[in-house]
Amino acid sequence: MTKPLTGKIALVAGATRGAGRQIAVQLGAAGATVYATGRSSRASRSEMDRPETIEETAELVTAAGGEGIPVVVDHLVSEQVRDLVAHIDAEQGRLDVLVNDIWGAESLVTWNEPVWRQPLEAGLRTLRLAVDTHIITSHFALPLLARRPGGLVVEIGDGTTAYNDHNYRVSLFYDLAKVSVNRLAFSQAKELEPYGCTAVALSPGWLRSEIMLEIFGVTEENWRDALDKEPHFAISESPAYVGRAVAALAADEDRGRWSGKSVSSGELAKVYGFTDLDGSQPDAWRYIVEVQDRGKPADVTGYR
């Protein structure tokens, strides 16, 4: 089978777990060489203190049919990001896809409290992890990506612009972080346009990440058992779904039509025809607007 991304070089920044891991894997499945970065390695864990490592991600990329290359990077440290990009340039001489998926602030967010009752330092660090990391990475990586026309930048967030512009995300810091990520794609699209490159903001739906599965006490195999606790979890999607969305964008010769836009994995599935692991096409953000936010009973008929 022809792999459309054979010969392409990708950097997935924040690939240790969740969406980033499966974005790296699905790019690998399409034939790409993928540099997978993060702070958690077999040698040491990040402040999140979780078991997933970038080495595991790179191995999954290679097993999927690509070439996975793990690099330990803290994307808040400019020198480390600069050296990472120099390393990619020295080894490959090009960068075709940059995915900014750095996050890592799950334990820092305080929900349903006004800003004056929130821990200030935790809130500011949330913004640093969610926004500063993306800017630092693009600052160093875009000159290499823009060297050739056709480069793609994907900013991974939570919620499309259409949703976030009209809905408060129940924490000032989280709200600002997710609005900002979408705007970063818009801004980078303008700056990359003269170089023939594309930038897109992409949101998964309700993601069955490792952390989310643990919260509900289920696994990917029995995730539907969580519906007893949260019926709307029926619209959730595996991380592979957004991974396939990125791979589809990267393989599309007409990807420039998406430049500056904010889209979801469910929206792109309808255009490109890919499915989640179970063969369905969950359209989470349409469901959230039309069913969940309106207080209707959980019913995914017509939404996956």
- The set of catalytic residues is 174
3-state SS track over 92-146? HCCCCEEEECCCCCHHHCCCCCCHHHCCHHHHHHHHHHHHHHHHHHHHHHHHHHC
Q: Which residue type occupies 266? A: G
Which residues are 201's β-sheet partners? 155, 262
Contacts of 55 (CB under 8 A, 6+ apart): 41, 42, 70
> Rounded to an integer, what distance in angstroms lies between the CA atom of residue 282 and that of residue 207?
11
> Rounded to an integer, what distance in angstroms lies between the CA atom of residue 8 and that of residue 257?
20
Tokens of 237: 């999607």
Q: Which residue type occupies 255? A: R
Does residue 31 sit in helix, strand or coil?
Answer: coil
- Torsion sign (Cα): 160, 161, 163, 167: positive
Which segments within 9-92 are labelled E, that is strand? 9-13, 33-38, 67-72
> Rounded to an integer, what distance in angstroms lies between the CA atom of residue 253 and that of residue 262?
19
Express the helix, strand and coil content of the chain in percent, nearest 5 each: 50, 10, 40
> Rounded to an integer, what distance in angstroms lies between the CA atom of residue 141 and that of residue 184?
14
